[in-house]
Amino acid sequence: MFEFGYFNPVERRREKALARAADDYALQNGHVSREELQANNSFLAPLAIVSSSAEHQSAYL
């Protein structure tokens, strides 16, 4: 059961190992390409980014 505010490092290691095994299986059996897997596992994958831009303004203008 998930407890709010509680982190179990052993459980987290188990979750990550299961996710890696599932990724390996999908890749080896042709269910996903390496590029699809990298995109799905990227840091920003959960965010639905439609478009973005970055601007820089110097403080010394």
pLDDT digits (tens, 9 = 90+) for 18-47: 999 999 999 999 999 998 998 888 876 666
Whether residue 54 is predicted with pLDDT greater than 80 in this model: the reply is no
Cβ density class 17-56: b for 16+ within 10 Å, e for less: eeeeeeeeeeeeeeeeeeeeeeeeeeeeeeeeeeeeeeee
Residue 19 has a pLDDT of 92
Phi, psi of 28 (to 5 degrees): -70, -30
Residue 27 has a pLDDT of 93
Residue 50 has a pLDDT of 63
| 40 touches 32 (CB < 8 A) | yes
Residue 39 has a pLDDT of 86
Q: What is the mean pLDDT of the chain?
A: 82
Residue 14 has a pLDDT of 95
